[in-house]
């Protein structure tokens, strides 16, 4: 059985929260998730945030548990209205 996880995160403050707290909770759940090997963990983010997340030691642990795919979007997409960008990200993930 395949599961898809989708996380939307970008920007200094939210990436810090993701790396300081959120990823810990996701790792704890995925360590016990019996279908993690078949799951895809999508990170919807911008280029700079993807680099910060990808360079973090906990990201390597995450990638060892589940296949991770970055879905990148340009920073200008959220500059005017971050909630519109979040809606666009959700629409990209719902197929």
**How large is the average pLDDT for residues 30-45?**
92
Q: CA of 44: how far to CAs of 3, 32, 34, in Å?
A: 16, 24, 24
- The mean pLDDT of the chain is 86
| 35: number of Cβ within 10 Å | 11
Res 18: pLDDT: 96
């Amino acid at each position: 059985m395949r599961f898809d996880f989708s996380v939307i995160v970008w920007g200094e403050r939210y990436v810090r929260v993701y790396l300081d707290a959120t990823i810990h909770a996701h790792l704890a759940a995925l360590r016990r998730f019996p279908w993690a090997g078949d799951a895809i963990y999508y990170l919807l983010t911008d280029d700079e945030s993807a680099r910060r997340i990808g360079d973090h030691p906990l990201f390597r642990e995450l990638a060892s548990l589940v296949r991770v795919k970055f879905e990148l979007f340009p920073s200008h997409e959220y500059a005017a209205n971050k909630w519109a960008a979040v809606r666009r990200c959700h629409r990209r993930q719902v197929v």
